[in-house]
Amino acid sequence: MQVWSALFPMKPTTVCTETYFAIRDELLVISAIPSGRLPLLIMDLDIANLFMVEPMHGGTVNGWIQIPLSFTITLYCVIVGITVLNAVFLVIKKTPLLKALRKSAVIAFFSAGFLYLVYSERTWYTWFEQDIDTYAGYSTEAKIGIFNGPLYDFIKVARGVLKDEDYVVYSADDATRLMTQYYLLPRRNRTNAKNIIVLYDKDTAYDDRSRTFTRGTMRMVNVDLVFRYDFGAYILRTR
Amino acid sequence: MMTVAALALPTILGLLVISVVLRNETESSFAMRLSLAYPLGMGLLTMQMFLLALMRVPLRLGYVASLIAIEIVGLFLLIREKKIGLTRMPSFGLFNEIASADVRWSRKILVIGLTAIIVVKIGSIFVETYLRPIFAWDSFANWSAGAKAFYYSHSLLLDTDPQDFFGKGILDRNANYPPHNPLMQVWMGLWIGHFNEVLVKFWSPVYLLAMSVYLYAIMARETSRLIALSMLVLFLSSPLISVHAIEAYSDLPLSVYLLFSLIMFLFAMRGEHEYWVLMGLYSAEALFTKDEAPFFVIPLVLAAITFYWQNRKQGLVPRKAVVALFASLLLAAPWFIFKLSHHLGFGADYIKLKWTVQPQIAWRVVMMLLSFRNFNVFFFIFPLLLMLTWRQSKEFIFLFVPMLCYALFFMLVYSLTEFYAGGLMFNTAVFRNIMSYYPIICLLTSLLIKTVMMSGNEALAPKNKCIQ
């Protein structure tokens, strides 16, 4: 078990998955918006760098997609500029105003649309390249391992330990608990299961010597340690 | 190879059904029929898997695949017996345009360039699907969690303890969600031989491919190939739709079914009566895909009834076509009977219906749309063109109203229920719900461009049957 720990140093912070980070980012965005205020605040306004086009936010394909306000404003400028200029040109050429506006709006649509296309596809293909570097050539199991990091190594051992039996999982982190449950399916998370999985849960403690497991006010004796990954991640079995 | 077989069988089933239904129709090309076939076949497959599981037939490859095989053989024999044209000659209109000596070089280069962008984009989505295992929260918590449990139990978990019934209690799975998505994953898993976290979601990019081909074909028919290609390129630039196409989410299949049911209605309005059945079938499959679907399907059916009522004296719609529409809608009935009889309810379990009035939320949604975050500039240009081409044809209004009702339904949900009022799910929910009618917005925008073309130069306007 010590070897495992040395090979896969899993700490509470590294258990967090990409998904977790994405959700955390979303929470940060939402929590940054005072309720009732205009959502323009979502797109961090930076007057000084209004026309400095930065890439879409979200580091990977799994990130939340946001574009900077500077680019949104650029698109509006393109739409308004092309519509007005083209309409003026057509009106001078004796086209009725409404017809000129209609044609100009269509041209503006395609112009702004293609600008957006260049911008968004640049981000898409950056993500694509990253994923090729990260996942290409690996088996499905290896890909899951890459995606989840050390957590998946723990889960693989847990599968062997649990066999077909159910378990109860305790973790302070929702994403870790969810991923563990998912990858352990069809084994189920049940309140009174014999097997106990602990993944960095701050409310739990296990004493090797007295073989006692405590969680809040709950205290269980005669609990065997079946597998320990490191100090905060282990599997127990009640008799 | 097994993954290809898993995708091919429902496509063949769908193609045979399409061939029978559209036996007198001559305008749709083989590619169009093929793109109609895949979503139709997938829907028919999962509906039958659901019925098999209700009858306690184990969800094993032998049982499910043999049923589909019998249907395919039966339909094939029927097609031979009735001498129905099984395949139409593939249409190479796009390639002919590139090869034609009459077309200018600048146009050829544009067509080649746009086609290349589309091919590379869709190709990258397929590769990306193959690269990544399931990665998104809702797939883990809900769709794939249910699929995995069904796959390993070879059932829908109907004979278990009440807390486990129909996969309730697995992670955050909402037992009231329609099982189309999980059953597609089960089907893929049955062919692959195990629940492969990469390959079980391979149905998803195929939905995007089918939608792209059909959307292009319709837009090309309504406007021109160049405009249709440009529209498709812009449509596919949505990062959100790309992400959904590589993951086991239900929003993309829903958007395909909603779009197809609306296009079927368009053809039905133009007097092609066989499309009433298909409109019903795609609507039923939408109802079997996500809980939100009724809020599109009900306005769509009401629009169809209104159209029938307005044109009853001219005899534009035979009564049997309307009967066929309602009969095909009944395909979704077993799911709703099951759902109501087991009190599974609607919407996610964690949404507690607490009423509130927050009109500023609607404004916030509008601002999110106008930020161009996920859908290119469609949501700014569409209302602009709508205003500029103010007097719309009846046909357009019949297509527009169901979508408007659907969009307004979401606005009401966001503004009147406490759950969505700025909570965690807000951004995700808003964008993914919009994504379900984003393809319809693309289609309607192309129809508005057609109106602009017609008003600009009558000679350039495509010659389509159109109800004014």
Is A9 in a helix, a strand, or coil? coil
Looking at residue B468, its pLDDT comes to 36
Portion of chain A with pLDDT greater than 70, in percent:
73
pLDDT in tens, A128-179: 999 999 999 999 999 999 999 999 999 999 999 999 899 999 998 888 899 9
> Is residue B156 classed as helix, strand or coil in its secondary structure?
coil
Cβ-nearest to A65 among B199, B374, B452: B374
Q: Compute the average pLDDT of residues A54-76.
A: 70
Q: Who among B135, B449, B455 is closest to A62 (CB)?
A: B135
Q: What mean pLDDT is predicted for residues B48-65?
A: 96
Question: Which residue of A98, A107, A120, A183 is the best one to mutate when testing the B interface, meaning the one whose CB has the most B CBs within 10 A?
Answer: A120
Here the tokens at position A188 are 């189920």
Distance of alpha carbon B72 from alpha carbon B68, whole angstroms: 6
Hey, are the CB atoms on B137 and A144 less than 8 Å from each other? no
Percent of chain B with pLDDT over 90: 67
Find out whether B292 and B433 touch, Cβ atoms under 8 Å.
yes
The span from the first CA to the last CA of chain A, in angstroms, equals: 22
CB A168 within 8 A of CB A209: no
Cβ atoms within 10 Å, residue B458: 8
pLDDT digits (tens, 9 = 90+) for A84-121: 999 999 999 999 999 999 999 999 999 999 999 998 99
pLDDT score recorded for residue B460: 43
Measured from the Cβ of residue B196, the count of other Cβ atoms closer than 10 Å reads 20
Confidence grade of residue B357 (pLDDT, cut at 50, 70, 90) = confident
Overall average pLDDT of the A191-202 stretch: 91
C-alpha distances in angstroms, B178 versus A24, B300, B330, B455? 28, 20, 15, 44
Q: What are phi and psi of B290, to 5 degrees?
A: -150, 155
Q: Please tell me the distance from the alpha carbon of residue B173 to that of residue B167, in angstroms, as a whole number.
A: 7
Kindly report the average pLDDT of chain A as a whole number.
Answer: 79
pLDDT at position A39 over 60: no
pLDDT band at B116 (very low <50, low <70, confident <90, very high): very high
Give the model's pLDDT for residue B37: 97
Using the beta-carbon criterion (under 8 Å), do B127 and A62 form an inter-chain contact?
A: no
What is the pLDDT at residue A91?
96
Q: What is the pLDDT of residue B164?
A: 84
User: Contact B273/B164 with Cβ under 8 angstroms?
Assistant: no
Tell me how close the Cα of A210 comes to any Cα of chain B, in angstroms.
33
3-state secondary structure of B317: coil
Is residue A134 within 8 A of residue A162, CB to CB? The reply is no
Lateral strand order in the sheet of A167-171: A167-171, A195-199, A233-238, A223-230
Q: Give this complex's ipTM.
A: 0.90
**Contact residues, chain B, for A99 at CB < 8 Å:** 455-456
Mean pLDDT of chain B: 89
First-to-final CA distance of chain B: 49
B466 pLDDT band, cuts 50/70/90, is very low
Interface test with A, best of B129, B151, B376 (most A CBs within 10 A): B376
**3-class SS letters over A172-190:** CCHHHHHHHHHHHCCCCEC
Which one, of A180, A163, A65, lies nearest residue A119 by Cα?
A65
* CB–CB contact B385 A43 (8 Å): no
Q: Could you count the other beta carbons within 10 Å of the beta carbon of residue B313?
A: 7
The pLDDT value recorded for residue A9 is 41
B370 chain-A contacts, CB cut-off 8 A: 72
Beta bridge partners of B355: B417
| pTM summary value | 0.90
DSSP conformational letter for B271: T
Query: Which of the four pLDDT bands, split at 50, 70 and 90, describes residue B362?
Result: confident
Q: Any idea which residue has 């779009």 for tokens? A: B259
Chains A–B, number of C-beta pairs less than 8 Å apart: 178
φ, ψ for residue B232, nearest 5 deg? -65, -40
Q: What is the pLDDT of residue A216?
A: 87
Residue A93, classed as helix, strand or coil, is coil
* Higher per-residue pLDDT: B301 or B90: B301
Is the pLDDT assigned to residue A30 strictly greater than 70?
no
Comparing A165 with B422, which gets the higher pLDDT? A165
Cβ atoms of residues B424 and A71 within 8 Å: no
Cβ–Cβ of A102/B385 closer than 8 Å? Answer: yes
Please report which helix (H) or strand (E) contains residue B366, including its range.
Answer: helix B359-370
pLDDT the model gives residue B435: 93
Q: Measure Cα distances from B50 to A121, A131, B53, B247, B346 in Å.
A: 39, 35, 5, 22, 18
Q: Which residue has the higher pLDDT, A139 or B94?
A: A139
The DSSP secondary-structure symbol of A194 reads S
> Of A75, A114, A124, which has the smallest distance from its Cβ to B242's Cβ?
A124
Q: Which residue has the higher pLDDT, B198 or B426?
A: B198
DSSP bridge partners of A167 = A189, A195
Q: Per-residue pLDDT tens for B367-388?
A: 888 888 889 999 999 999 999 9
Rounded CA-CA distance B155/B60 in Å is 9
Residue predicted with more confidence, B255 or A5: B255
Average pLDDT value for residue range A185-206: 91
Rounded to a whole number, what is the distance in Å from the CA of B66 to chain A's nearest CA? Answer: 26
Q: In what order do the strands lie in the sheet with A218-220?
A: A204-207, A212-215, A218-220
- Closest approach of A207 to chain B, Cα-based (Å): 29
CA distance A6 to chain B (A): 27
Reported as a pLDDT band with limits 50, 70 and 90, residue B169 is confident
Backbone angles phi, psi at B337, to 5 degrees: -65, -45
Burial class (CB in 10 A: 0-12, 13-18, 19+), B100: exposed
Residue B462 has pLDDT above 80, yes or no: no
**Interface contact A109-B152, CB threshold 8 A:** no
- Partners of residue B196 in chain A, C-beta under 8 Å: 140
Secondary structure of residue A218 in the 3-state scheme:
strand
Q: Grade residue A55 by pLDDT with cuts at 50, 70 and 90.
A: low
**Res B45: pLDDT:** 98
Name chain B contacts of A18, Cβ cutoff 8 Å: 135
Residue A224's CB: how many other CB atoms inside 10 A? 11
Q: What is residue A23's predicted lDDT score, i.e. its pLDDT? A: 43
Q: What are phi and psi of B59, to 5 degrees?
A: -80, 75
Specify whether the CB–CB gap between B439 and B255 falls below 8 A. yes
What is the DSSP secondary-structure string of A129-152? HHHHHHHTT--HHHHHHHHHTHHH
Enumerate the residues of chain B whose CB falls inside 8 A of the CB of residue A90. Answer: none
The answer to whether the beta carbons of residues B97 and B225 sit under 8 Å apart is yes
CB contact under 8 A, B140 and A33: no
Residue B461 has pLDDT above 60, yes or no: no
